[in-house]
Structure 1
Amino acid sequence: MSTHTRSPAAASGPAAASRPAPLWGPLLTGADTARFRLWAPSSPALALEIAGEGPVAMQPGPDGWFSLDTKAAPGTRYRFVLPDGTAVPDPAARAQSGGVHGWSVLRAPFAPDAGWPGRPWEETVLWEAHAGVFGGFEGLAAELPRLKALGITALEIMPVNAFSGSRNWGYDGVLPFAPAEAYGPPEALHALVGAAHREGLMVFLDVVYNHFGPDGNFLNAYAPEFFDTSEDTPWGGAVAVSRPEVAAFFTENAVMWLGEYGMDGLRFDAVHAIGNPAFLDRMAADIRAALPGRRIHLVLENEDNDAPRLEAGFDAQWNDDFHNTLHVLLTGETEGYYADFAEAPARRLARCLAEGFVWQGETTPRGRVRGRASGHLRPTAFVNFLQNHDQTGNRAMGDRLLTLAEPAALRAATVALALMPAIPMLFMGEEQGAVTPFQFFTDFHDDLAEAVREGRRREFAHFPAFANPEARARIPDPNAPETFLRSRPVPGPDAAAWEALWRALLDLRARQIVPRLAGASALGAEAIGPRAVSAAWRMGDGARLDLLLSLDPAGAPDAICPPGPVLFTEGDPLGGAGCTVWLGAS
C-alpha cells in the first residue's frame, strides 16, 4: 500500500531501542538474569520452575499479572506451575524443547537486519509454501535461488508456530511465538529470512490469531478471560481481543516476526473469525508505529470481503472470489461454496476484474449477505491466485487444479493471473505443473486423532461423491504419515514447459506491468461469452492494459481486438481457449 511505504532510513538503531518492552514473554535484564511474566487472572497463585530446580512462587501484580526476577541465561528451560501442580509452557515462549507439552526456552532476541531495504508492494509475486514438506527451514532455503530465477519476489510461509506432534498444516498451533521444533531452531528460521534477503526476495509469514489448536493450549486453565464465550467460532469461544492483554499478545507476536526475524509481511488467517474490525485496524497501526522506516506489508484473509479494512492499514486481501469464479469456469464444479459462483460465472469474473470482489453486499445463492463495495480500491489491494493451501488441501483428496482442468484453459488462466494488475500468488509446485496432491495432515493421537479423522470424513458427507460410508473411508487419514508424505510437491511431467511459461510471464510483468502499477485503476470488464471475458485498466503512466481471456474451446468470436502491441498470447482466445494481453498508449 503506497500510503504505508516508508523510507528504510530508520529501520534500526534509536527507534528500535526506544520500543517499549513487551508485556508477554520473558525479558532478559542482564547477562544471566531475566524477568518472567504471565497473565493468569483466574489463578490465585503461580510458580516458576527452572529445569533442575524446584518451583519458586511468582509475585502477583495488578490486573492478573504474575512476575519474577531471577538468575537465568539464554538457553534456560522453564515452565509455569499452577496451584494444582499442573506444569504449563509459556504461551509467549520464543522457543520450546520437547514439544508443546515440554519446556519453554529462554532466548535472546535476534538483532534486526539493517541492511535490507525491503521491496515495494507493487513488486510482490508470492509463492506460498509449507516448511514441513520441504524438510524444514533449511529445505526452504535451498529453494530460494530457483524461485529468484523464476521471477518470484516473495516467499510466503504457512504458519510455523509450535503445534502438537511433528507434522501439521500449521493452523493447529498453540504457542504463536515459538517456531515448531520439527522445522528447525529459531536460528534456522532467522537464517532463512536472511538468505531470502540476500537473494532479493521478501518473506511473508502466515499467522493465526483467530484460535488455538486442540492439543497443548493451557490458557483456559489460568486465563479463561483470554476467550469470549459469548462469541462462537468453529473452534469455540472467540479470542477476546477487546481486552488489552489479549490484543497485546497478538500485536507483540506480529512485531516479533517483523522486527526480530526481519519478515517483510504477514498474512492474517481468517480474520472474519475474530469479528472485531476495530482491533484489526488498531493492530495494523500499532505494528507500523513499532517499526518505523520499514517497508511492512500486511495482508488479510477475510471471508466478509470487508473492503474498509483495505483502506485502514492493510495492503491487500486474498481474493477468494477470483479463485472461486475461475475454478467454476475451469472445472465446472458447483458444489459447496462454489454454488455462489455457479450462475453466470463469466459475468462474475468480469465484476471481479473490474471491481475486486464479486460479492459486495448482496445475498448469495446460499443465503448469506456478504461483502462491501470494493470498486474504488486500487487493483493491488487484491491478492489473486488459482491455487492455495485451502482450496487444494480442503478438498477431500487434496486434488491439484491440473488434475481437474483442461491444461490449455489452465495455461490461459495462468497468463491472466500473472499479467493483470492485481498481486499474483502461486502455490508451491504450481510453477512446475505438479499433479501430486496437497492433503490435510496432522499428528494427533488417541481420542483426538479419532475425532479429527471422523470429523474430516463427516465434513464431506453432504457431497454426492462421499455420501456413503465406503466412499468416505477413502478420504485420507490426516494423522497417517503417508498423508503428509503424499503432500510433498513433485514436479509434473511437463515441469519444464510450466517453468518456462512462468519465467516468461514474470519477466514480462517485472518489465512492463510493475513499473506502471502505482496509480493504476480499472476501466471496466465484461463477459463476452459463457466462458470468456475482456477487461481493461488505466495504468499509472497513462498506458492502457487490455486482457482477453477465453476458457471456452469454441473461443470468443465476439471479441474486439484493442489497439496497441501484443504483450503476450497463449493459445488462441478467438478460435479456442487462450489469453491475449495488449498494452497500448491510448
Structure 2
Amino acid sequence: MKSKHTMPFGAQWIPGKGVRFRLWAPDAEQVELALGDGLQTYSPQVGEEPGVERRLPMDRLDDGWYELTVSEAGPGSRYRFRPDAGHPVPDPASRFNPGDVHGPSEVVDPFAYIWQHADWRGRPWEETVLYELHVGTFTPEGTFRAVIDRLDHLQGLGITALELMPVAAFPGSRNWGYDGVLPFAPAAAYGRPEDLKALIDAAHGKGLMVFLDVVYNHFGPEGNYLHLYAPQFFTERHHTPWGAAINFDDEGSRTVRDFFIHNALYWLEEFRFDGLRLDAVHAILDDSEKHILEALAEAVQSGPGRERRIHLVLENDANQARFLARSNSDPKWYAAQWNDDFHHACHVLLTAESDGYYADYSSEPAFLSSDPSKQDSPRKHALHYLGRCLTQGYAWQGEPSPFRKGEARGTPSGHLPAAAFVAFLQNHDQVGNRAFGERLTQLSDPAAFRAALAVMLLSPSVPLLFMGEEFGADTPFLFFCDFGEDLHNAVRDGRRREFAHFERFSDPAVRETIPDPCVFETFAASRLDWGSLENPEAEQWLDFYRQLLALRRREIIPRLAGARGLDYRVWERRGLQAAWRMGDGSLLTLLANFSGQPLRELEIPSGSLIGTQPKGIAPLPNPPPTSGGRVERGGELPPWSVAWYLA
C-alpha cells in the first residue's frame, strides 16, 4: 500500500509531468524558483550555499499564489524560492529539508514508501496507554530507525501508543521540537521521511499506535521566513508569549487555516499516524464563527477518520471543556486533554512544593469555601484537588486562581467521561521545565511515588508515561536547543531569569548554575541510559509497571468506555476515597493513604479487592452484611498504600 496527502502548496511530483511548485507570497511582486545544480544529485552540507542554482520565474496567480511546473525536476531535486529576487527561502510546506531549515528543500515522492501493514485500522481510545518520547534522546543514535529497536520493550511493558515529541524541522541539530519552522518536514537530524514511516509501520505491526505532538500556536524564533513574503500568516489582533499570533481570524486567514488543517491531514494520511496531540491550544487565538480547532477536527473526521480510528488530544491550560464535548458517546472533536491539574496535585502531595503554579494546589480549594479547616497542610488541600481531578476532570473549573492573580480558570467538566483526560506523573514539561531536569522519582519518597503511580495507572483516566520512568531512569531531561550565536546568549539568560521568582534561585549566583540550553553537553546529559536496565533496581521498577498495566488491561480497560466519576472524600487530611460508575455498570472504588501513618476506621467499599500497593496488603476485609443502611467501618490502610475495589 502507498499513501499520500495532496496539498495546494509546496512541491508535488506528478509522474510523467515533472514537479509542480506552488507558494503563497501575497506581499511579493515576483517570485523565482531556484533549482539546485544537477537537480537530482545536488546534496549540500549544513551551512553551505549551493554552487549553482537555476532561477526560473514563477507564474503569478490570483490571491497571492505563484506556481511553476518543471518537467525535468523530480524526487530528489533541491529547490528554494526567491521572493522579489531577495533572500532565498526554503519551502514552508517542504516535505524534507536535508541540510538545515535555512537551506534548500527536497522534492519527495510520497509513494516511494510501501506500507507493510496496510490493514492497520488503529485501536479504541479506551485501550490507550501513552508513552511520550523525544526521538533525539530516547536512544544513543537519536534517530527514527533506532526507536524501532525499542518497540519490543514498550510492547512488553504494556504500552499501546507511542507519543513522539514534535519532529517538524527545527534550527540546528537538537531541539525539544517546539521551535519548529517547517511543519511538514521531519527533522533531518532524526532521519528521512521514509525512516519515520518505517517506525510507524513497525509499530503498527506490533499493535502499537503512534501519536505526534504538533505545534500550531507559533513558529520558532530562527528559520521562519514567512514574514518576508507572507506577513498575513500573523496578526496583531492577538498576542501570545511568542509575539504576534498566528492569523486564524484576520484578513488572509483562509489560507493560513488551510495550511494548518492540511498539516494535520498530511501527518495522518501520508505518515499514517494514529493521532495528534495539539500543543498549548490556549495560545491559538481565534474569534471566527468556527474555531480553527473545530474546523481541524471536522476535517480529520471527514477525511482519514472515516477509514480508521484517529484520536486527537489537546494541551489546554485554559481548561475549556467544550472542545471535549461528546456526541452519542463519541468525541465531537477531541478525545481527551492532558490533565496538568492531576500532575500538579500529585506533585504537591509527593514533594510539598508550593512555588510557582504549585501554589494553586497547596492552598484551600475555592470549591470548598465552606470547609472549616482553612489552616490545613498543603498536602491535605492537594488531596481535594486530586479527588476532583479523578472524579470530575479539571481541578480548576472557573474558580479564581491565586497564581494567575485572581483570574478565573477553567469550565465545569464533571459531565465528561473519565477517559476524556490524560493523567501523568511525569512528562517533558514537568521534568524538563525544572532548572535541573529532575525526575519526580528523584524528588519524592519511592513508597509515595509508587502509591501515586498505582492511582494513576488504575484510574479510569488515560495514563501517560515519560520515557525512562518505567525503569526508574535517573538521567535528567533538560531544556536544550541549538540556535545560532545571535540567539544563544538571549536564550541562556532568559532561561535563567524564568527561575528568579523561585526562592531556591533568588540568588543570581545560584541561577548561573542552571545548565546552558545551547551547549551540546546539556543535550547529551538528557540521553536515556539504557545500560541502567542491568541494575536490579531498574528491573524492580519495570516489574512494578508491568504488573499495574497488566491489571489495567484485565480489569479497567474492558469497562472503561462510558465510565464517569461519582464523588470523592478526604479522610483525616491524608486519605482519599474516590468512586466511578464504569461503562458496564460496575462500581470502581479507590482508597489511598498519602501519608507515612496508618489510616484507620475507613468506610468499607462494596466489591472485591482487585489490586493493592504494596502488593499483597489486605487493608480492609470484604464488606460484611449490613442492616438498616448502616455504614460498616474497619480495617487499616498502611502508610503510602492504595487499594482498588470493584463491585
TM-score (norm 1): 0.95
Structure 2 counterpart of 1:356: 393
SS at match of 1:49: strand
Runs of 4+ deviating beyond 6 Å? none
1:234 aligns with 2:241: yes
The 8 Å contact of residues 575 and 593 in structure 2, kept in 1 or not, is answered as: yes
Higher relative contact order (CA 8 A, sep 6+): 1
SS at match of 2:516: coil
Structure 1 counterpart of 2:346: 326
* Structure 2 residue identity aligned to 1:281: E
Tell me which moved more, 341-350 or 554-563: 554-563
Structure 1 counterpart of 2:281: 271
- Alignment partners' CA distance in 2, 1:69 and 1:436: 50
* Structure 1 residue identity aligned to 2:342: F
Structure 2 counterpart of 1:512: 555
SS at match of 1:559: strand
Measured at CA, do residues 488 and 561 of structure 1 come closer, stay the same or move farther in structure 2, by a change above 3 Å?
A: farther
Shift of the alpha carbon at 1:576? 0.7
- Alignment partners' CA distance in 2, 1:309 and 1:165: 35
Tell me which moved more, 168-177 or 491-500: 491-500
Shift of the alpha carbon at 1:558? 4.4
1:384 aligns with 2:423: yes
- Alignment partners' CA distance in 2, 1:138 and 1:281: 34
Q: Equivalent of 1:281, from 294, 304, 311?
A: 294
Shift of the alpha carbon at 1:368? 2.1
SS at match of 2:482: coil
Q: Equivalent of 1:33, from 11, 14, 18?
A: 18
Q: Which runs of 5+ in 2 are unaligned?
A: 38-52, 326-331, 364-380, 620-636
The 8 Å contact of residues 31 and 73 in structure 1, kept in 2 or not, is answered as: no
- Alignment partners' CA distance in 2, 1:466 and 1:338: 16
Structure 2 counterpart of 1:527: 570
Shift of the alpha carbon at 1:275? 2.1
| Root mean square deviation, CA, Å | 1.6
Structure 2 counterpart of 1:185: 192
The 8 Å contact of residues 25 and 83 in structure 2, kept in 1 or not, is answered as: no
Shift of the alpha carbon at 1:520? 1.3
- Alignment partners' CA distance in 2, 1:340 and 1:124: 29
- Alignment partners' CA distance in 1, 2:312 and 2:645: 31
TM-score (norm 2): 0.86
Structure 1 counterpart of 2:464: 425
- Alignment partners' CA distance in 2, 1:531 and 1:485: 40
The 8 Å contact of residues 431 and 502 in structure 1, kept in 2 or not, is answered as: yes
Shift of the alpha carbon at 1:109? 1.6
Structure 2 counterpart of 1:198: 205
1:294 aligns with 2:308: yes
- Alignment partners' CA distance in 2, 1:475 and 1:314: 37
Shift of the alpha carbon at 1:32? 5.3
1:118 aligns with 2:122: yes
The 8 Å contact of residues 93 and 105 in structure 1, kept in 2 or not, is answered as: yes
- Alignment partners' CA distance in 2, 1:410 and 1:302: 26
Deviations 1:213-268 (A, max 9, x none): 11110000000100012211111111112311111111111111111111000000
Shift of the alpha carbon at 1:79? 0.6
Deviations 1:120-159 (A, max 9, x none): 0000000000000121111211110000011000000000
Q: Which runs of 5+ in 1 are unaligned?
A: 1-11
Shift of the alpha carbon at 1:84? 4.1
- Alignment partners' CA distance in 1, 2:612 and 2:543: 14
Deviations 1:426-477 (A, max 9, x none): 0001101112211000011312011100000111111111112210110000
Shift of the alpha carbon at 1:529? 3.3
Q: Equivalent of 1:261, from 252, 271, 274?
A: 271
The 8 Å contact of residues 173 and 212 in structure 1, kept in 2 or not, is answered as: yes
The 8 Å contact of residues 440 and 478 in structure 1, kept in 2 or not, is answered as: yes
1:67 aligns with 2:67: yes
1:340 aligns with 2:354: no
- Alignment partners' CA distance in 1, 2:415 and 2:294: 19
SS at match of 2:67: strand
SS at match of 1:537: strand
SS at match of 2:595: coil
Shift of the alpha carbon at 1:24? 2.3
Structure 2 counterpart of 1:128: 132
Tell me which moved more, 382-391 or 68-77: 68-77
Structure 1 counterpart of 2:629: none
Deviations 1:515-539 (A, max 9, x none): 1111211121121232321111111
The 8 Å contact of residues 528 and 558 in structure 1, kept in 2 or not, is answered as: no
Structure 2 counterpart of 1:5: none
Structure 1 counterpart of 2:47: none
- Alignment partners' CA distance in 1, 2:98 and 2:390: 48
* Structure 2 residue identity aligned to 1:266: L
- Alignment partners' CA distance in 1, 2:440 and 2:574: 17
Deviations 1:151-182 (A, max 9, x none): 00000000001111111000111001001111
The 8 Å contact of residues 346 and 529 in structure 1, kept in 2 or not, is answered as: no
Tell me which moved more, 300-309 or 82-91: 82-91
- Alignment partners' CA distance in 1, 2:606 and 2:397: 32
- Alignment partners' CA distance in 1, 2:131 and 2:574: 27
Seq. identity, %? 51
The 8 Å contact of residues 565 and 583 in structure 1, kept in 2 or not, is answered as: yes
SS at match of 2:603: coil
1:397 aligns with 2:436: yes
The 8 Å contact of residues 94 and 179 in structure 1, kept in 2 or not, is answered as: yes
Deviations 1:476-506 (A, max 9, x none): 0001111111111234752111110111111
- Alignment partners' CA distance in 2, 1:395 and 1:558: 39
Structure 2 counterpart of 1:247: 257
Structure 1 counterpart of 2:488: 449
SS at match of 2:80: strand
- Alignment partners' CA distance in 2, 1:262 and 1:395: 34
- Alignment partners' CA distance in 2, 1:551 and 1:141: 38
Q: Which structure has the bigger radius of gyration?
A: 2
Q: Equivalent of 2:321, from 307, 316, 327?
A: 307
Shift of the alpha carbon at 1:553? 0.6
Shift of the alpha carbon at 1:57? 0.9
